Amino acid sequence: MEPKDTGGAVPGALHRELLWALASGAAYGISATLVGQPLDTIKTMMQTEQARGVGRATVLETIGRMQASPSLLLRTAYGGGRAVLLGAVLFRSLPFVVYSGTLTSLPWHHTAQLGGVDWRVWVSGMVAGVARGLVENPFEALKTQKQVWGTSYLDSLRAGHIWRGLSATCGRNVILVTMFFVLSDKLSDLRDLPLSGDLGDRPFLRGSCITVCCWIAAWPFDVVKSQMQSMRTSQVTHGCWSHAGTNGVAGLLLQTWRGHMLYRGLLPGLARACFANGSGMYAYQKVQQMR
């Protein structure tokens, strides 16, 4: 995932690098959204059972609830899909653009490494994760309200939902995006190994393996994000940084752990990570090959 060398101070080269990052990220985001939205809806419905006042259900039972009527199935399968698709080009492209821009702007030193990875990769990944969280949260909040309650986008905007769960979204994305670029960098350095070579030649498999690892690490924050963003206006007392009677994300993580919910919805979530992000990586590399 290392961007091409721009020479450190060539504005035209950096500009082209950012444009290619934008185009590749857009291809990644659109592909991932179209493939993964139904599984994302199942995942969100499982993570917000308490907010909706329904009992715990398996994946198949959750799908059965969605099939109560054809109109409900259509609404829930791609519930909030328009908000995510609209934002996909922006918030899925942004990490690649911010990462490339930050990485090429930071000074290089061959001895400055963390875990065998250039320190710039870690810093650039974290910066890109925060940037994605700030842009993504409004679209995620609108999507979640649509998936869980069927709330229209206009009503969610009027109720001030769009910044709810911002802290959890940023925390999740820092882990996701940083690990994505770090693992991608490590795989690039290990191309001589048989398995790594296979992954490098198969972008779908490569993208699936990397994102599964990233999501497992970040999943508790995703559960908390869904819970915060699914709350009705009357249940929220502390805005986007807290959640109804708890001490923000830390309190909800503890609550979720005690309720054995830290990895709720993980199965459909990992399935989505495999198919959506695998196809996204395939589209990303196809655009990169056009350079």
Model pLDDT for residues 222-242, shown as the tens digit of each residue: 999 999 999 875 555 444 444
CA distance 148 to 33: 18
Q: Which is more confident, 120 or 88?
A: 120
| Joined tokens for residue 144 | 């979640």
pTM: 0.78
> Is residue 129 a contact partner of residue 95, using CB atoms and an 8 Å limit?
yes
11-288 belongs to which homologous superfamily? Mitochondrial carrier domain (1.50.40.10)
Residue 89 DSSP code: I
How many CA atoms lie less than 13 Å away from 267 in the CB half-sphere?
A: 8
> Is residue 163 a contact partner of residue 141, using CB atoms and an 8 Å limit?
yes
CA distance 49 to 55: 6
How many CA atoms lie less than 13 Å away from 89 in the CB half-sphere?
A: 5
| Joined tokens for residue 127 | 């910066």
145 CA to centre of own chain: 17
pLDDT of 150 reads: 81
Mean pLDDT of the chain: 80
pLDDT band at 78; cut points 50, 70, 90: low
In this structure, which amino acid lies at residue 289?
Answer: Q
pLDDT (mean) for 23-35: 84
CA distance 262 to 290: 41
- Phi–psi pair at 117, nearest 5 degrees: -120, 140
Of 78, 35, 22, which Cα lies nearest the Cα of 272?
A: 35
Beta-bridge partner residues of 113: 118
> CB within 8 A of 289, min separation 6: which ones?
none
In this structure, which amino acid lies at residue 263?
Answer: Y
pLDDT band at 165; cut points 50, 70, 90: very high
CA distance 279 to 291: 20
pLDDT band at 190; cut points 50, 70, 90: low
CA dihedral (111, 124, 276, 38) positive or negative: positive
> Is residue 256 a contact partner of residue 262, using CB atoms and an 8 Å limit?
yes
pLDDT band at 176; cut points 50, 70, 90: very high
Model pLDDT for residues 94-115, shown as the tens digit of each residue: 888 899 899 989 988 766 788 8
Q: Is pLDDT at 32 greater than 90 in this prediction?
A: no
pLDDT of 240 reads: 44
Classify each residue of 204-232 as buried b or exposed e, where b means 16 or more C-beta atoms within 10 Å of its C-beta: bbbbbbbbbebbeebbbbbbbbbbbbbbe
CA distance 43 to 24: 27
